[in-house]
Amino acid sequence: MSCGDPHETDCSEVLDHLYEYLDREMPDGECTKFEEHFDECSPCLEKYGLEQAVKKLVKRCCGHDDVPADLRSKVMGRIELIRAGETVPEKSVLEQAQQESGAAEGPGHQPGPTDADAPTEAARAE
């Protein structure tokens, strides 16, 4: 999406990093560039407003669930690996947490379904 007008910060850059801006995960200088862009570009400002509203709605409806501290730390660890450009293990964080919690519960524990147990898109289409 682009408004067609030239800007110091291109619309595609703003939209590619919109959630970093919304989540306050970017340096102040970058935030200033985005704020200037929103002042100039009404389509991007509209998209920002829509995403901000969705984020608030999700927080209001789903923000009461507590996330286990170990799962949060594993997810954050994966994010840091990705940001550093390192390879990430193929097993999902959720699968890893389920496997570890199953091992901690001892023999006889029946683990719940994992993504590997779910039907594939091709199987659902049949």
pLDDT at 47: 94
* 8 A C-beta contact, residue 35 and residue 45: no
Residues 53 and 47: their CA atoms lie apart, in Å, by: 10
Joined together, the tokens standing for residue 8 give 């110091």
User: In which residue are the tokens 């594939």 written?
Assistant: 120
Closest CA to 14 of 54, 44, 55, 57: 44
Q: Give the phi and the psi of residue 112 in degrees, each rounded to 5.
A: -75, 175
pLDDT at 82: 86
* Low-confidence residues in the chain, pLDDT < 50: 106-126
Instruction: Write out pLDDT tens, residues 83-114.
Output: 888 877 777 767 766 777 665 554 444 444 44
pLDDT at 50: 94
pLDDT at 95: 76
pLDDT at 97: 67
User: Burial code of 38-68, b = ≥16 C-beta within 10 A, e = fewer?
Assistant: beebeebeebbeeeeeeeeeeeeeeeeeeee
Residues 115 and 98: their CA atoms lie apart, in Å, by: 11
